[in-house]
Amino acid sequence: MLSGDIPPNQTIYIKNINEKVKKDELKRSLYCLFSQYGRILDVIALKTPKLRGQAWVCFSEVTAASNAVRQMQNFPFYDKPMRIQYAKTKSDCIAKEEGTYVPREKKKKQEEKGENSSERKRRAEEAQQSGVANGTHSASNGGPTASFRQGPGAQETAAPNNILFIENLPHETTGRMLEMLFEQYPGFKEVRLIEAKPGIAFVDFEDEVQSSMAMQALHGFKITPQNPMIITFAKK
């Protein structure tokens, strides 16, 4: 286990992340992937050369972090297997909530250079504002309507199909985000977003059995707390 002797806590540390991924997209994708395990307080990813390819995800509960470490270890994330362990101390998460979080490596250099605490706080706040806010902002930009809630009923009567119809997606959802969710299931072929209609997508599988497995596993998955995915078979 990569966590070694580090005791379980609310914050997980992720490394071996593809460094070509832009910071904002990385944060949204991490939030999307890990929100299935519990409420996320924050996602931290910095652009400094030494900290590229790394991120921190802070959960509200230790059990959520533990499930994420166990189930997402080596998950193929932007074509690289994620290496996950607990953060060295849970104070990282607390500091992030207070707006004073600075990774240890950077903090040491700042102290040597004599940077004051207000500068550290400003940088942490900037990272915080551009992080999970991107994952929750969608609720105020065309979140779910009452009609979306009818999805589960439609699922019961629709004829099985190898193509799935996805509704109630946050408007900032990308094709790559959905690929990372669905490609873990056998038979996955492709994701098709509809540019003219944000919030919906089609996902193709090899056959109806494989699409059914993915639908059962991911129906109701919350990309953001306000956006549980509604998955039905596409109409033939």
Residues 130 and 172 occupy one common structural domain: no
Q: Which amino acid is at 140?
A: S
DSSP-assigned letter for residue 88: S
Residue at which a domain ends, from 119, 137, 155? 137
Pair 38, 129 in one domain: yes
Q: Which residues does 201 contact at the CB level (< 8 Å), separation at least 6?
A: 165, 166, 169, 173, 175, 178, 191, 192, 193, 194
Which residue(s) pair with 40 in the sheet?
59
Domain membership flag for residue 105:
yes
How confident is the prediction for the chain on average, in pLDDT?
A: 77
Domain that holds residue 177: 141-233
What tokens were used for 90? 């849970």
Count the helices and strands in the chain (H runs, E runs): 9, 12
Two tokens, residue 224 = 């953001």
SS3 label, residue 39:
coil
* 149, 133: one domain: no
Q: How much is the pLDDT for 205?
A: 95
What's the CATH number where 177 sits?
Answer: 3.30.70.330
pTM comes to: 0.50
Which has the higher per-residue pLDDT, 119 or 64?
64
27 part of a folded domain: yes
Residue 145 and residue 211 share a domain: yes
Q: Are 102 and 110 in contact (CB under 8 A)?
A: yes
Looking at the fold, whether 129 and 146 belong to one and the same domain comes out as: no
User: 190 and 216 share a domain?
Assistant: yes
What pLDDT does 137 receive?
35
Q: Are residues 125 and 154 both part of a single domain?
A: no
Q: Measure the N-to-C terminal CA separation of the chain; round to a whole number of Å.
A: 46
pLDDT in tens, 138-180: 333 333 332 333 334 444 457 899 999 999 998 888 888 899 8
What's the pLDDT at 28? 84
Q: Do both 224 and 200 map to the same domain?
A: yes
Final residue of a structural domain among 88, 109, 137: 137
- Any domain includes 124: yes
What CA–CA distance (Å, rounded) separates 64 from 40?
9
Within a domain: residue 5?
no
Q: Are residues 162 and 126 in the same domain?
A: no
Domain final residue, candidates 137, 165, 182: 137
pLDDT at 119: 59
d(CA 163, CA 233): 6
177 lies in the same domain as 227 = yes
Q: Are residues 103 and 159 in the same domain?
A: no
Asked if residues 192 and 202 have their Cβ atoms less than 8 Å apart, the reply is yes
Tokens of 11: 């914050």
Across-strand partners of 203?
164, 191
Report d(CA 153, CA 57) in Å as an integer: 34
